[in-house]
A and B are shown apart, each in its own frame.
Chain A
Amino acid sequence: MSTLNVSNISDGTTTVGTGYVVNGSAKTWVYWDGTGTLAIRDSFNTSSVTDLGTGNYRVDVASEFQAAPGHLGFGSIVGFCASGATNTTSNYYVAQWNSSGTLTDGSRMNGAAFGDLA
């Protein structure tokens, strides 16, 4: 594999530091169907998704973080653990509520986490 050692990336008009690209990239992500029997559709750097109950999930990562990710990014869902558990360097929680405030399963569940890898 070849390595490009550059400080900035430019399209000719806009220039951005490579540090923003590296630090701003999701280090792990996953997309799954939580209805019926949970099925993982696609992912990167995820080892498993655990179905904890209706609308409540835990995602474990393969290459862990240096510190527990405090800020998580999500696609179509709200990201908190329904039981109050906290993220660690090796896993994070995802939960989804409907408009009535009831935990509910979703067919397009997403999770992603950012931060420094261990």
Chain B
Amino acid sequence: MTHGHLWDRLAKAKSRLAPVQSKYRVLFENPAEPDAPASVLVPDPNWMAAALAGDILPPIDTYLRDRDVPDGQPKEHPYAEPIGAMTEEEAIEYLIQKDIPPQVWRDYQGNRSVLKIVPVELIPTDRSFRNAWKINQEMEMAA
């Protein structure tokens, strides 16, 4: 096995890759928590650099299968064969599946938009009413 452990690959990547600040954020509302404000996922710049470089991160499927692995049992993703370089948009889609609950991106069947990828400029900088934020249902999806 020549690709080693994911943690080791990330350590090497941090020493040689410049961080990449994504131009996107992911807004989401968890249907399981209807009273909670909208959440804003911020991609990590070092993780994004690794995603764009390729040959570091494992296939997203391995993370999804590992969700069913009990604590303490071996997981698949650390030793899986790394995938190639992604575009920033592909990396965001990967991150949605990895870090956002499936009831948001896979299982929700309601009428509200509960997930949107938006340019960072659309996120308000004034946080005075942060706990009242909800996704604007009229807002256009960034693509």
List residues of A whose CB falls within 8 A of some B CB: 27, 30, 32, 35-40, 42-54, 60, 62-64, 66-68, 83, 89-91, 105, 117-118
Contacts and interface: CB of A to CB of B under 8 A. Distances in A.
Interface of B: 5-7, 10-11, 14, 19, 21, 25, 33, 36-37, 39-47, 50, 57, 63, 66, 71-72, 74-75, 77-78, 95, 98-99, 120, 123-125, 127, 130-131, 133
Contacts of A45: 7, 10
Contact of A89 (B42, B44, B71, B125): B71
Contact of A47 (B33, B47, B123): B47
Contacts of A42: 19, 46
30 contacts: A27-B7, A32-B42, A37-B123, A38-B42, A40-B42, A43-B44, A43-B46, A44-B10, A45-B7, A47-B44, A47-B47, A47-B95, A48-B42, A48-B44, A50-B40, A51-B39, A51-B42, A52-B36, A53-B37, A53-B133, A54-B127, A60-B98, A62-B6, A62-B44, A62-B50, A62-B57, A63-B6, A83-B33, A90-B99, A117-B7
Nearest to A60: B99
Contacts of A90: 63, 99
Contact of B5 (A32, A46, A60, A117): A117
Contacts of A50: 39-42, 99
A83 B36 contact: yes
A45 B44 CA distance: 9
B10 A63 contact: yes
A43 B42 contact: no
Contacts of B72: 66-67
Contact of B41 (A30, A48, A63, A105): A48
Contacts of A83: 33, 36
